[in-house]
Amino acid sequence: MFKHLHELDPQKSSSAVMSCEEGSASAARFSIRDVNDVYSECTDRITAFLQTYAEMIGSIKKLHTDTLNASPWHRLASLRLDALMSNAELGRSLPIPVDNIVDLLKQEISDIEAQMRKDDTVTKECGCDKLLEFIDTLQSKRVTIAGQFIGERIVSLVNDGNRVLTYGYNSVIARGLIGARQEEGKDFEVTVIDAPPRYTGRRMLHSLQSAGIPCSYCLIGAASRVVKEADTILLGAHAYMANGAMVGPVGTAMVAVIANDRHKPILAVCETIKFCNQVQIDSVAHNELYPAGQMVSPASPLHGVENGPKVLNIAYDVTSADDIAGVITELGLFAPSAVPAVMREYSKDSRDIVEERIVSE
């Protein structure tokens, strides 16, 4: 049932990346760091992907003028992007939102190429500068500033005396809760639910306690008990699909189902750059597997058994739109059914919408 899914093997994948003739040192470094789980969440992987591509575009500017003029600019930029993606896929599957980012980058490359054909004064060096500026805009407005806006909205949602519940680690949720405590002086408590084998909730717990927020911590087996005491439930998203389903770290769907059964409203936290025009209804068709060894301790009876049952260490699960009350984005709070409408607006010009929000703020 899960044979079609790719299981991470850091040692094997790193060797494959190093032996690949395509790409560059930047692409290989990104892929190796990605497969070794250096980037802790989807946002970090997106940021690293954009920074790596920016380095690869910067290398085009260093080419000798004759070499640069010998090949169409858009071909060089597209080849760099393809090489980065092929190197990355040797290690592990790229995050779902990267498909959107690649589409935006390809569209920008085409637009710059069209400008070059119309205006001879636009050199290929200028084309590189324009693309680098677009990458920086994409990173700052759709990731960094978007996270700040969402954090501000989380601050407004948390009230004195609330008990907030969250699962695992999400940097945007952490930023919002810390802001509510340190900037607004609100008095509230946070319950962090965690799950093996990655235990990302420990990072969330450390971040919140360092900010002076009273916290409690439990594993996912105790979720049914702590959920009923929560006033606000915030869950971070890896991606948000066009059918309103949320892809999140494995265990997210379980927490959502328990909360929905207790009639507790759930708010998903997701930047719009993670909105995808794909549809996903289960965790089987598209997913990835972490190394099975992470789930088996040396004391386990399964440890070292070659012909025993295969251990499944799945990375993500899918939460139904019916279990989500609203999605907090940099553009506001929306119902899951509004995701396609938001994507249509962004397809007009992904840069102007956030720019308008910045001006209005």
**DSSP classification of residue 275:** B
Other CB atoms within 10 A of residue 229 CB: 13
The confidence band for 71, taking pLDDT boundaries of 50, 70 and 90, is low
pLDDT at 75 over 80: yes
Better-scored residue on pLDDT, 127 or 68:
127
Determine how many CB atoms are found less than 10 A away from the CB of residue 203. 19
Q: Could you give the CA distance from residue 171 to residue 153 in angstroms, rounded to a whole number?
A: 14
Higher-pLDDT residue of 228 and 38 is 228
Q: By CB neighbour count within 10 A (0-12 exposed, 13-18 middle, 19+ buried), where does 130 fall?
A: middle
**Per-residue pLDDT at 304:** 64
pLDDT of residue 145: 93
pLDDT tens across 310-345, in order? 788 899 999 999 999 999 999 999 999 998 888 887
The answer, yes or no, to whether residue 155 has pLDDT greater than 50, is yes
Residue count of the chain, please give it. Answer: 361
How many other CB atoms are found less than 10 A from the CB of residue 300? 11
State the Cα–Cα distance between residues 280 and 246, nearest whole angstrom. 9
Q: CB-based burial of residue 329 (10 Å sphere; 0-12 exposed, 13-18 middle, 19+ buried)? A: buried
| Confidence band, pLDDT 50/70/90 cuts, at residue 307 | low
| Cα gap 264→225, rounded to integer Å | 13
Backbone angles phi, psi at 97, to 5 degrees: -65, -20
pLDDT score recorded for residue 354: 47
Residues 158, 186: Cα–Cα separation, whole Å: 8
Rounded distance between C-alpha atoms, residue 188 and residue 229, angstroms: 13
- At 30, the amino acid letter reads F
Q: How confident is the model at residue 86 (pLDDT cuts 50, 70, 90)?
A: confident
